[in-house]
């Protein structure tokens, strides 16, 4: 009898695993400051209930995908970032998945023929106007550039050199199609905007959960990467962001933030719950070396 019950349990577990892995999707870009390795920790600090998820520094969207995979009650999600090319890629994945995967497969062939030649040809194109071509270029460069870094020069042009990969998967069709389905089948909007404009303060309340994952406050002048955009993200931006945190808190929203463990951050958020987290970060000024990084998770609930 016990053996039979165990057998049934095992079959059920296998079936659930299958369903779960079928549904799982993950970030389609490798992103500086991406939260994949911190996901289990972030999950421990989520609010118990919310029906509107808002992520205004979306990047690779690691927490959003984790929430989707864990089937949280996401009635509605508002996702944004000020990186136009990144957001264009999300929208193309949502609306033009067939054309995109076809072009990515073509780029994968071209890249394999002559990696350097194709990489620099693609990187240095300055007039990509078509959305699908732009997304294919963006994803290909992300998969093949040095450290998966997105960095622009003072004129706003992507300027990362080629990375060393033997056989990068430029077209991860299974994951891209899962993301496409997720974005079309859930109540999710994705748009380009500065975080200052992306949240309508009158339309958020105690049912809103806002995850703020800004460029980190640098631990010292050389250690941290903040050049996602040509303007960067400096001390005054950190201060301004803390004012938004307070405003959202005053509206009774649930707000969670990730940042570096610096004296500025501790001072700005001293009224809230600050949890220390130790992590290994790969993308920094010393190239591929992974260094220990002290971070914090800040919550108002
Ligand atoms: C630390 S990353 C977010 C990483 C993301 N949570 C993930 O899992 O990949 C910070 C993001 O903020 C975006 N960003 C920088 N300045 C911004 C601004 N002023 N408004 C909106 N987004 C901004 C960058 O483009 C970048 O994607």
Per-residue pLDDT tens over the stretch 191-201: 999 999 999 99
CA distance 61 to 34: 8
> What is the position in ligand 1's atom list of the atom closest to the CA of 60?
9
**pTM score of the predicted model:** 0.88
> What is the position in ligand 1's atom list of the atom closest to the CA of 231?
16
- Taking alpha carbons only, the member of 231, 217, 212, 236 closest to residue 297 is 212
Domain at 36-82+193-224+234-301, CATH class: alpha beta
pLDDT at residue 281, rounded to an integer: 66
Is the confidence at residue 22, as pLDDT, over 60? Answer: no
Query: Is 55's C-beta closer than 6 angstroms to any atom of ligand 1?
Result: no
Three-class DSSP category at 174: helix
pLDDT at residue 254, rounded to an integer: 98
Q: How confident is the model at residue 81 (pLDDT cuts 50, 70, 90)?
A: very high
Distance 215 CA to ligand 1 centre (A): 6
| Residue of 215, 241, 257, 258 to mutate, ligand 1, most atoms within 8 A of C-beta | 215
Distance 297 CA to ligand 1 centre (A): 16
Query: Is 28's C-beta closer than 6 angstroms to any atom of ligand 1?
Result: no
pLDDT at residue 271, rounded to an integer: 97
> Is 287 or 98 the better-scoring residue by pLDDT?
98
Taken in order 90, 35, 252, 195, the sign of the CA dihedral is negative
pLDDT at residue 290, rounded to an integer: 62
| Residue of 147, 151, 228, 258 to mutate, ligand 1, most atoms within 8 A of C-beta | 228
CA distance 56 to 221: 26
Specify the pairing of strand 188-192 against strand 208-212.
Answer: unpaired
pLDDT in tens, 168-225: 999 999 999 999 999 999 999 999 999 999 999 999 999 999 999 999 998 876 555 5
Is the confidence at residue 14, as pLDDT, over 60? Answer: no
- Which residue, judged by its Cα, is nearest atom 17 of ligand 1? 82
Please name every residue paired with 81 in a beta bridge, in sequence order, or none if there are none. Answer: 192
**Would you say 165 and 288 are in contact if contact means Cβ atoms under 8 Å apart?**
no
Domain boundary assignment for the chain: 36-82+193-224+234-301, 83-179
* DSSP code of residue 295: E
Is the confidence at residue 43, as pLDDT, over 50? Answer: yes
Q: What is the CATH number of domain 83-179?
A: 1.10.1020.10
CA distance 89 to 149: 16
Query: Is 273's C-beta closer than 6 angstroms to any atom of ligand 1?
Result: no
CA distance 170 to 183: 21
- Which residue, judged by its Cα, is nearest atom 19 of ligand 1? 194
- Taking alpha carbons only, the member of 209, 250, 215, 243 closest to residue 231 is 215
pLDDT in tens, 112-154: 999 999 999 999 998 777 899 999 999 999 999 998 888 888 7
Query: Is 42's C-beta closer than 6 angstroms to any atom of ligand 1?
Result: no
Is the confidence at residue 17, as pLDDT, over 50? Answer: no
Which stretch of DSSP H or E encloses residue 101? helix 97-113
Query: Is 34's C-beta closer than 6 angstroms to any atom of ligand 1?
Result: yes
CA angle 238-224-258, nearest 5°?
50
What is the chain's mean pLDDT, rounded?
88
Query: Is 90's C-beta closer than 6 angstroms to any atom of ligand 1?
Result: no
């Amino acid at each position: 009898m016990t053996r039979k019950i165990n057998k049934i349990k095992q079959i059920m577990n296998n079936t659930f695993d299958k369903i779960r892995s079928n549904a799982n999707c993950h970030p389609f870009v490798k992103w500086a400051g991406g939260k994949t390795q911190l996901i289990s920790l972030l999950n421990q600090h989520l609010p118990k209930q919310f029906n509107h998820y808002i992520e205004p520094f979306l990047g690779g969207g690691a927490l959003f995908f984790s929430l989707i995979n864990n089937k949280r009650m996401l009635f509605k999600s508002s996702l944004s970032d000020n990186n136009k090319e990144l957001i264009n890629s999300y929208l193309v994945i949502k609306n033009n998945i067939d054309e995109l995967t076809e072009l990515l497969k073509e780029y994968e062939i071209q890249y394999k023929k002559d990696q350097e030649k194709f990489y620099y040809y693609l990187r240095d194109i300055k007039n990509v106007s078509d959305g699908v071509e732009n997304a294919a270029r963006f994803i290909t460069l992300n998969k093949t550039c040095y450290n998966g870094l997105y960095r622009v020069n003072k004129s706003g042009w992507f300027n990362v050199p080629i990375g060393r990969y033997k056989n990068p998967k430029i077209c991860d069709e299974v994951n891209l199609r899962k993301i496409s389905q997720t974005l079309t089948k859930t109540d999710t909007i994705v748009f380009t905007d500065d975080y200052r404009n992306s949240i309508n303060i009158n339309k958020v309340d105690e049912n809103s959960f806002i995850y703020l994952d800004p460029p980190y406050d640098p631990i010292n002048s050389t250690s941290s990467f903040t050049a996602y955009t040509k303007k960067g993200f400096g001390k005054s931006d950190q201060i301004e962001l803390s004012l938004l945190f307070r405003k959202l808190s005053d509206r009774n929203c649930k707000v969670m933030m990730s940042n570096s463990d610096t004296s500025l951050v501790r001072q700005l958020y001293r009224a809230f719950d600050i949890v220390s987290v130790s992590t290994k970060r790969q993308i920094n000024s010393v190239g591929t070396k992974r260094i220990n990084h002290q971070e914090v998770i800040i919550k108002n609930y």
